[in-house]
Structure 1
């Protein structure tokens, strides 16, 4: 049965009710125990303090023949009268004592009940104080003050653990909201830049009648359109991978690596720049979406080709439950490596050159890895370039 009122009122009713019940049981037990021996105690006390009044005769009752005749009451009669007096007095004293004890007990119980309810109310308030702090903080929070924390100053316990968990959740929410804001701003900037380039090219092309200039503008418009298309496809892929997997099936990662490696080894970019693309793949099978995993490997290899130098190399390795892509290239500052998995992050400012990526490659890799419960990490190579590693979970879901 659910008690009415708020949590503090319910706790007060429960705590106060238990204290009053315990007090009533204690008083009842005391009254019961006292009443059991009260008659004997009063009788003994009266006889002890009044030696002239003997209690009931305990010896053999003398026969009438043995008792001399006298005009007054006999000893037997006197003993009987004394016993009757003591019994009557004891009963009256017992009844008066019990009534007085009961009255005092009821008054004490009433006072105890009031004190118990007051203490229960105070104690419930103390216990629920952290919940009130959490509630007030949650009501204050908005997109502008996600930096606030409860930081509850309390002894270790369930409510302290709840407050700390709430603070940890706020840390994650703040990070996600910040990442979403940066993503929206960067996506808007990228798309706006492409549109501005297209508009400028169209205005210039329409203002001239030179066939060569028109041809150049046409090529430029096509390049910008291709770049915008790749950007939109990357954004859509990122959105799809963030939604998680609808189904899973066994995927031969080693075969996928060899297929993507062969595909990129003969690209014009690899041939023109003399970049060697090779694979070392042991048999590896993971559970996942084959389409998304293909995008993951293609993004890793494409990123390694794009950010490389002439005559460099790209090595794709699959072993254990890990996929690793290592490439040569410019030196990567170690402190910037963790930020490369964020959308639109590049080592250098975008120049809108031909073949330049949109800055979504590694962020898509990280998103697809999360969808597969895998972990993506990177480290800068001492001689330049980057090593990106994706570790997939084991058959039972462990890494």
Structure 2
């Protein structure tokens, strides 16, 4: 942890205090210059109200005379002059008046300078605690963010704190840069929570899915082959073990494919998706006929930069889901075009609220029955991962019962 006097708060305090002192010094200098500029004329105006002169700067140094056209003010008596009838003003009186004005101006400036320097010194001392307090107020949200990040863990990230979630800042502050930073941090924590939660569910579901075939294999070996089984019984157990091994292999292959697609695409090339759609539909035609499902392909031109193997797997999973989760006499329609890929199938009615969950690993629209050929529940999660690897988005919507039920999945490329 940084020392308090060497951290950002100390640096902000030094910066704020320096700016405050500089502003005070500039203000003091400006006030002193303005007062000095107008002080002499102000004192002259005040003094000439009691001194027999028009303006101090017009006062003569020797004896001055004033004609009849310019009568002297009556405030100061003048001495009578020669027989010409003119009046004379003593130069001593004028000199004293000038000296008093100069002394008053100098004393006022000295007093102003002394008071200004004293006030500036006090202002400088007061600016340090004020700057320290202001820096603390500015950095308070940063401290809240730091404390929240320090105490994060898997439990409180998922809202495990009593009385509320410790994994969020929820900064109570006016709009600004730090408020946006805290809200962005909260949004990041929300996405992390979703990822951690999905990872935990994925690990739990994967362990459950792999534990089932292992348990079946163990039971078949311990019970089915106990004692001296007949050749027919050995053959049944053998076929059962092979079937369970195939199921485990499909789960593992799906997990590996999901992991590889999550890592992104290393090499891209131009892929004609419409051609892949026709080939994939032709490859699944036999299974579709066996289930009584009709596959319709409306392949418009669509070419993207990507991995042909992953794109083929995406189309295969979409068509296979449409065929397998259908009803006898149902239909699967595949469309490609500039907007992307759309696969719509009839089948059981899917609750709209459960549609987003179908893209999570091991999620199914119906409970698992462990029937032969049943998928592992990774189909749409692999589709979503491959779509994201190609910069596309996967979405789904439930078809109403009036249109035959089922699901419509769309892959939108940028």
> Where in structure 2 are the equivalents of 1:191-206 lying within 5 Å?
191-206=210-225
**Of 125, 129, 134, the match for 1:123:** 134
Match of 2:342 among 304, 320, 324: 324
In structure 1, the partner of 2:396 is 378
Distance 1:309 1:40 in 2: 106
What CA distance in whole angstroms lies between the structure 2 residues aligned with 1:166 and 1:176?
Answer: 15
Q: What's the counterpart of residue 72 of structure 1?
A: none
Question: How far apart, CA to CA, are the structure 1 residues paired with 2:331 and 2:34?
Answer: 96
Alignment-derived partner of residue 304 in structure 1? 322
Matched with 1:284 is 302
Shift of 1:60: 7.7
Q: Which residue of 1 aligns with 2:239?
A: 219
Query: How many Å separate the matches in 1 of 2:301 and 2:409?
Result: 20
Q: Answer yes or no: is the 8 Å Cα contact 2:343–2:409 preserved in 1.
A: yes
Contact 1:257 1:297 in 2 (8 A): yes
Residue by residue over 1:193-219, the C-alpha shift from the partner in whole angstroms, topping out at 9 and shown as x without a partner, is: 111111111112431421111111100
CA deviation map 1:160-202 (0-9, x unaligned):
2222222211111111110000000100111111111111111
Give the 3-state SS of the residue equivalent to 2:25 in structure 1.
helix
Per the alignment, residue 175 of structure 2 pairs with 156
Partner of 1:280, secondary structure, is: strand
Shift of 1:117: 3.0
**Consecutive unaligned residues in structure 2, runs of 5 or more:** 66-80, 83-87, 160-164
**Aligned counterparts of 1:311 and 1:45: Cα–Cα separation in 2:** 113
Q: Distance in 1 between matches of 2:16 and 2:127?
A: 8
Equivalences for residues 87-98 of structure 1 within 5 A: 87-98=98-109
| Structure 1 residue 144: Cα displacement | 0.3
- Counterpart among 264, 277, 283 of residue 284 in structure 2: 264
Q: Which residue does 2:35 correspond to in 1? A: 34
Tell which deviates more after alignment, 318-327 or 293-302. 318-327
Q: Which moved more, 1:229-238 or 1:8-17?
A: 8-17
Tell whether the 8 Å contact from 1:43 to 1:86 is kept in structure 2 after alignment. no
1:250 pairs with 2:284: no
For the 8 Å contact 2:61–2:95, the answer to whether it is kept is no
Q: 2:354 aligns with which of 336, 359, 376?
A: 336
What SS does structure 1 have at the residue aligned with 2:154? Answer: coil
Q: Does 1:367 align with 2:388?
A: no
For residues 131 and 250 of structure 1, the distance between their equivalents in structure 2, rounded to whole angstroms, comes to: 48
Give the structure 2 partner of residue 388 of structure 1: 409
Q: Distance in 1 between matches of 2:46 and 2:321?
A: 105
In the superposition, the TM-score normalised over structure 2's length comes to 0.84
Offset of residue 294 of structure 1 = 0.7
Normalising by the residue count of structure 1, what TM-score does the alignment of the two structures yield?
0.87
> How many pairs were matched up?
376
Distance in 2 between residues matched to 1:274 and 1:218, nearest whole Å: 31
1:234 matched to 2:254:
yes
Give ranges in structure 1 of 5+ residues lacking alignment. Answer: 69-74, 394-399
For 1:191 and 1:6, the matched residues in 2 are separated by 53
| Distance change in 2, residues 1:61/1:270 (3 Å) | closer
Work out the CA distance in 2 between the residues paired with 1:186 and 1:157: 43
Assess, with a 3 A threshold, how the Cα gap between structure 1 residues 309 and 61 changes in structure 2: closer, same or farther.
Answer: closer
Match of 1:187 among 194, 200, 206: 206
RMSD of aligned alpha carbons: 2.5
Q: Give, in whole Å, the separation in 2 of the partners of 1:91 and 1:389.
A: 93
